[in-house]
Amino acid sequence: MTFQSPKGTYDLLPPASERVLAVREALAAPVRQAGYGYVETPTFEDTELFKRGVGESTDVVSKEMYTFDDKGGRSLTLRPEGTASVVRAVLQHNLHNGQLPVKLWYSGSQYRYERAQKGRYRHFWQVGAEALGAEDPALDAELVALAWRGFASLGLKGVTLLLNSLGDQVCRPVYRAALQDFLRGLDLDEATRARIEINPLRVLDDKRPEVQEQLEGAPLVADHLCAACKAYHEEVRTLLTALGVPFTDEPKLVRGLDYYTRTTFEFVHGGLGSQSAVGGGGRYDGLSEMLGGPALPSVGWALGVDRTYLAMEAEGLLDEAPAARVQVYGVPLGEEARRRMFLLVEELRAAGLRVDMAFGGKGLKGAMKGADRSGARFALILGERDLAAQAVQVKDLTTAEQTEVPLAQVSDVLKGKLQ
């Protein structure tokens, strides 16, 4: 029996894996350009960090965490998201005592025990960005715009930005009570009724049509925002409009995690079926205090790399053949040629070319097949006679044209041809 990757996980293999690396880089490029610094935190943390930081009433904490005791009896959890860890790291290392806002970005795998399906995995990858320690609508708008630019740079046309405000500690409780009143009057199952008491905003997020139908007349947070929250949200909207970032007001947008306040947003893509969110985030002014730190109003997002890749596939952006693995492929014929080719390949790599060669003692036919499969533009054929002449045959695999080039010049010649 051979092993399979665990349920809800998948392997990334070439050439798709190369493209996924490129997606991660493209999503991170705008925040790096805007001066956000890279942060890396452990893949596991104290279980308590997520219980407090993400919220015990959320699905993520109550149902989806990979929690285990280590051999020292500590309860640890594989991270289900990145924000709580980043805030923990900022507080632990006192970064908030320096220049504010602290701007950080990360790229890493997350773990949630979810019902596995296309676009929803138990191990998935996010690129995230956080700006901590400033309450400024321009910061919210900056982050939203940077995410938008990341998606646009990949050529994606079908991404929609949904925007909402969840209010703050002044107006949210009033809205929460109004919503609870409304929800208590609906025909809902036991679990949902329990949720009304713990986290009523989450009920708005229920995707079941029989629930959605009843939510038609639900009070909206937009109608309950206090003056300060209203002005803040208006400014975020104005700045996004000025930047030319299109958005749709979505008054029912709440997010799965407890810590959001004011600005919340989600990026959705039409080509992904039910798992349509390619990214999301918002402001989380209370999180630092929930984790024992000082007040540190902050905003951030996480973009899903797996789903961004699926969105690109849905838009046909991956239809073109992927870039060739290497540019040049060595075909040595005989023992001595093999040794010389091994050195030549290293020499060419040092000169900046992408180069591979035939291994495993293959003959001419097998080695040429390897050259074709590698996608290389040029094969370098080195036989006994070439060695004696201190030369190599350079074969253009697109035209089959072959020329003899002195070994001392092959690097310059190839670089000239590959420009």
Residues within the interface to ligand AMP (CB under 6 A): 81, 112, 114, 120-121, 124, 126, 256, 277-280, 302, 304, 306-307
* 115 is an annotated ligand-binding site residue: no
Check the annotation: does 260 bind a ligand. yes
d(CA 216, CA 237): 25
Look up residue 379 and give its DSSP letter: E
- The residue (of 150 and 280) whose beta carbon lies closer to ligand AMP is 280
Annotated binding-site residue? 419: no
Q: Which is nearer to ligand AMP, 106 or 378 (CB)?
A: 106
Say whether 37 counts as a known binding-site residue.
no
In angstroms, the CA 13 to CA 10 distance is 9
The Cα 71–Cα 29 span in angstroms is 40
Kindly report the number of other CB atoms within 10 A of residue 294's CB atom.
10
The token pair at 34 is 């805007």
- Closest separation in Å from C-beta 199 to ligand AMP: 15
DSSP output for 36-50: PEE----SEEEHHHH
* DSSP single-letter state for residue 357: E
Nearest residue to the partner ligand AMP, using Cβ: 304
Q: Is 106 annotated as a binding residue?
A: no
Would you say 175 is a known binding-site residue?
Answer: no
CB of 120 to ligand AMP, least distance (A): 4
- Shortest approach of ligand AMP to residue 60 CB, angstroms? 7
Torsion angle of alpha carbons 349, 353, 354, 355, nearest 10°? -60
Between 57 and 393, CB nearer to ligand AMP: 57
CA distance 129 to 82: 9
Q: How far apart are alpha carbons 33 and 73 in whole angstroms?
A: 43
Residue 82, marked binder: yes
CB of 405 to ligand AMP, least distance (A): 50
Which two structure tokens, joined as six digits, stand for 68?
């285990």
Q: Give 121 or 232: the residue with its C-beta nearer to ligand AMP.
A: 121
Q: What does the alpha-carbon distance between residue 68 and residue 124 come to, in Å, rounded to a whole number?
A: 19
Contact 346, 372 (CB under 8 A): no
Cβ proximity to ligand AMP, 270 vs 366, nearer residue: 270
Compute the least distance from the CB of residue 167 to ligand AMP, in Å.
19
Does 266 carry a binding-site annotation? no
Least distance to ligand AMP from the beta carbon of 47, Å?
Answer: 18
Minimum CB distance to ligand AMP, residue 153 (Å): 17
Name residue, tokens 């409304």: 182
Return the number of the residue (154 or 178) whose C-beta is nearest ligand AMP. Answer: 154
At 281, give phi and psi (nearest 5°): 175, -160
Q: Which is nearer to ligand AMP, 36 or 260 (CB)?
A: 260
Question: What are residue 402's DSSP bridge partners?
Answer: 395
Q: What residue numbers does the annotated binding site for L-histidine cover? A: 81-83, 112, 126, 130, 255, 259-260
Q: What residue numbers does the annotated binding site cover? A: 81-83, 112, 126, 130, 255, 259-260
